[in-house]
Chain A
Amino acid sequence: MNNLIEIRWHGRGGQGAKTASLLLADAAFNTGKYIQGFPEYGPERMGAPITAYNRISNEPITIHSNIYEPDYVVVVDDTLLESVPVTAGLKKDGAIIINTTKDSNYLRDVLKDYTGSIYSIDARKISMETLGQYFPNTPMLAAVVKVSQIMSEQDFLNDMIGSFKHKFAKKPEVIEGNMKALEMALKEVKKV
């Protein structure tokens, strides 16, 4: 049970947090893990706060509830920091990974009592440079893999090529850009 890693995603409807959680589950599955990937369904609409979850383990996972004490939190949209208690229950030795350009003073301040690790990444810049559009979930996926070390970077990239080929079978022109986004994100996510 000790090897169970729990991740909570915070995003806004339409940003792909749910898809990212499913892609992470896929990637971990392909490295031989037991996985869960599930969103918390509410009154969903574009722009509304949404939550998605991952459990990843070397052993079968039987628990079926939301995650209240995650090892990692991923924030896909930094406007949520002031309105959603994103660090609620986050383990002290865990980490929060935020898509933001804000400085460390702002982040420490807005996260109030949270004293654990903070990682930031400019997923907008990466997405615009590699895909020409704002899809923050692809860089955030790479960022959480890097920080949590769920799998090796090489295993992750090898696996994601396969996933993108499957997911984008009808528009193969976007595969290269998505792979570049992952590679850039692995390099650019940094500890605040």
Chain B
Amino acid sequence: MGIRERLSGNEAAAIAMKQINPDVVAAFPITPSTEIPQYFSSFVSNGTVDTEFVAVESEHSAMSACIGAEAAGARAMTATSSNGLSLMWEMIYIASSCRLPIVMSLVNRAVSGPLNIHNDHSDAMGVRDSGWIQLFSENNQEAYDNLLMAHRIAEHKDVLLPLMVCQDGFITSHSIENIELVEDEKVKEFVGTYHPEHYLLNLKEQIAVGPLDLQSYLFEHKRQQAEAMRNAKNVILEVSKDFEKMTGRKYEFFEKYKMEDSDIVIVCMNSTAGTAKYTANLLREKGIKAGVLKIRVFRPFPAKEIANALANQKAIAVLDKADSINAAGGALFEDITSAMFVNGIQVPTVNYIYGIGGRDTTSAELESVYNDLEKIKNIGKVTNPYRYLGVRGEF
């Protein structure tokens, strides 16, 4: 049995980091993830962890310090949000291309501008092609659980890629909710000790990290990165199975909620999935067969598995909490419709951009999406696939 607690999402992330007790944490505070390094630095001061905490002067340096630490052979973690991640941008790609399994807690917030401190997924979407594994979390429990699994996935010899665990800024990061923690000793045993195969401080093997890599090799190295991301799929499932053995909590690529008999489904990520579940239950009392597909693993993108999971639906709404501003659809919508097309699945599918800049997404709004899906189900086709939910103005 775990430990019954009540924590905010930020507290949950900080406690996961405490239990993991990494060698190095380098971070710079930014709303709404500030509390994570704040709480963690108190664990350092109290001697609860023996981590080297590097209080850097910017996020670019935070990621650089993590890269240096991982390259040296240490286990490194950081936390950030929004423009903090933007400032890391250059080093984000260096981390993944050097195959350094750094773990980041990303508390999702709108990327400026205009300046906004509230939640959407534009920060995470901006690095979706950077070679980082991206796990999304509905609530404090999942943010915690995903972090406990993170190093096992990232450090696996077939993977060696950095990993970020996302949760919604304020909505879950600052909400106190019930959570079940795992005992310290069990976490320690589960996460294990980091034994890198190649590292700079190994006196017996001299290596170079991050040298010039031109026409003759860079393509092959990128190809290896892509293969590692493919390998991550199996590793994620293996680690999740082990985690389920320890906690009883089941994690896969995605959660299929009430999809055994559903004919309309909302696909979304993070906290909105919880509101969608609540809404699906309300509609089921009226006889509407509503379901929810909650994406946990966005990178690697489980294309075939998602397409198969959606094959028997009559209408699908994909909700994107970031606008790609591309005169077409959001990132999740494009990935999902591409996955369906490639796998020969033909179901009418519509995209909604929603919740931008912390705009609250209500159960009533999600009910309106399900109502739209009922109409699409009856007509059998979508005439206007690119839609917005909860925004003012006529276009």
Contacts and interface: CB of A to CB of B under 8 A. Distances in A.
Question: What band does the interface of chain B fall in when counting residues whose beta carbon is under 8 Å from A?
Answer: 20 to 34
Interface in A124-179: none
B169 to A, nearest CB: 9
Nearest to A61: B177
A35 B117 contact: no
B168 interface: yes
A65 B281 contact: no
A64 B281 contact: no
Interface in A26-59: 26, 29, 34-39, 41
A25 interface: yes
Contacts of B364: 68
Interface in A65-104: 65-66, 68
Given A29-B6, A41-B117, A65 B360 contact: yes
Contact of B176 (A1, A25, A64, A65): A25
A41 B278 contact: no
B241 interface: no
A149 B194 CA distance: 51
Contacts of A35: 6, 176-178
B2 to A, nearest CB: 15
Contact of B170 (A22, A41, A61, A63): A41
Contacts of A65: 275, 360-363
Nearest to A60: B178
A62 interface: yes
Given A35-B6, A68-B362, A63 B178 contact: no
Interface in B129-181: 138-139, 168, 170-172, 174-178
A35 B175 CA distance: 10
Nearest to B117: A41
Interface string B277-297: 110010000000000000000
The 9 closest A-B pairs by CB, nearest first: A62-B274, A38-B175, A64-B271, A63-B278, A37-B176, A29-B6, A62-B277, A64-B274, A65-B362
Given A1-B281, A41-B118, A62-B277, 13 more contacts: A34-B178, A35-B6, A35-B176, A35-B178, A38-B175, A38-B176, A60-B178, A61-B177, A62-B275, A62-B278, A64-B168, A64-B172, A66-B360
Interface of A: 1, 22, 25-26, 29, 34-39, 41, 60-66, 68
10 contacts: A25-B176, A34-B178, A36-B176, A37-B176, A38-B171, A64-B139, A64-B168, A65-B361, A65-B363, A68-B364
Interface of B: 6, 117-118, 138-139, 168, 170-172, 174-178, 271-272, 274-275, 277-278, 281, 360-364
